Structure 1
Amino acid sequence: MPFVRVSYKEGQYDALQLEGISSEIQRALVEHFNVPEEDFFQVFHGHKASEFYYSPSYMDIKRTDGLLFIQITLKSGRSTAQKKHFYSSLAERLSERVAIRTEDVFVVLVDTEFEDWTFGNGIAQMIGPEGAGRR
């Protein structure tokens, strides 16, 4: 049930690269967080230069205009070890398959609970007898 938002500076990536980024994020979620493959909700936002700001060297990491801000909202419950493996795997995948520098992969995980989601029809599908226990 992750919801993924990816922000990047306009003009940095073409449609094929964005498709590759999407695919690698989903593969990492499936592999490291046991997300079902069909649980796939992502939004990409290209920002004008006047809307995209970052520190080029915070925490001694050299970032470029190729920076990706990846925010993933998902159900809580993943371990610290799972998260660390996810971060490193995703950065490696994006580097190898889409030629994005690992330094430009910025990820934030936002944990939520089942009652924080509706997938449509105004129904909280993840709570109550019909949805109890799904991830």
Structure 2
Amino acid sequence: MPFIRTNVHQDTSQEQRQAIVDGIHRALVESIGMPEDELFNMLSEYQSHQFWCSRTFNGIARSERVVVVEITLRRGRSDAMKRELYAAIARNLKSGAKVSPKDVLIFMHENDYSDWSVGEGRFAMGLVQQAGTD
């Protein structure tokens, strides 16, 4: 179950925000096989004076409206899967939300089942060991 934190400029419209969330979710489903119903994306906004980043780092010309996508998920995806995920997110945000791929910053945190509780205060490792029970 990936947990996503997405940060957008405060002037981002509600329609564009929804398209950003949808594009990220679609990329996760298509690239790493995440189930459709695993949508957990906390979207926050920032003002121009709250986020500083190099506008030219690594030869990429960024605007002042960078979309920051932070993904936390269970360890185990290959570099090839991650590469496809990042490309799909950038592609989806360009086509669906009109965000320049140059303005998409993605980073990932990986952890294990023991680092999660996904409901009822239950240790996620127990859920894995008891798959299919209620």
- One fold, TM greater than 0.5? yes
Query: Percent same amino acid among aligned pairs?
Result: 28
Distance 1:85 1:49, change over 3 A: same
Match of 1:107 in 2: 106
Match of 1:131 in 2: 128
Cα distance, 1:99 vs structure 2: 0.9
- The TM-score normalised by the length of structure 2 is 0.92
Task: For residues 57-110 of structure 1, give each alpha carbon's deviation from its aligned partner in whole angstroms, at most 9, with x where no partner exists.
Answer: 000111102210100000110000011111111111111111110100110011
Match of 1:70 in 2: 69
Cα distance in 2 for residues equivalent to 1:48 and 1:87: 25
Q: Secondary structure at the match of 1:46?
A: strand
- Unaligned runs of 5+ residues in structure 1 are none
Whether 1:5 and 2:2 are equivalent positions in the alignment is: no
C-alpha contact (below 8 Å) 1:8/1:52 kept by paired residues: no
Q: What is the number of equivalent residue pairs in this alignment?
A: 131
- The TM-score normalised by the length of structure 1 is 0.91
- Higher helix proportion, which one? 2
Cα distance, 1:9 vs structure 2: 2.0
Distance 1:91 1:81, change over 3 A: same
Cα distance in 2 for residues equivalent to 1:79 and 1:103: 24
The 5-angstrom pairing of residues 71-110 of structure 1 reads 71-110=70-109
Cα distance, 1:132 vs structure 2: 3.0
Moved more, 105-114 or 45-54: 45-54
Whether 1:43 and 2:29 are equivalent positions in the alignment is: no
Partner AA of 1:19 in structure 2: Q
| Alignment RMSD (CA, Å) | 1.4
Structure 1 runs of 4+ aligned residues shifted over 4 Å read none
Distance 1:14 1:133, change over 3 A: farther
C-alpha contact (below 8 Å) 2:4/2:42 kept by paired residues: yes
Match of 1:30 in 2: 29
Partner AA of 1:102 in structure 2: P
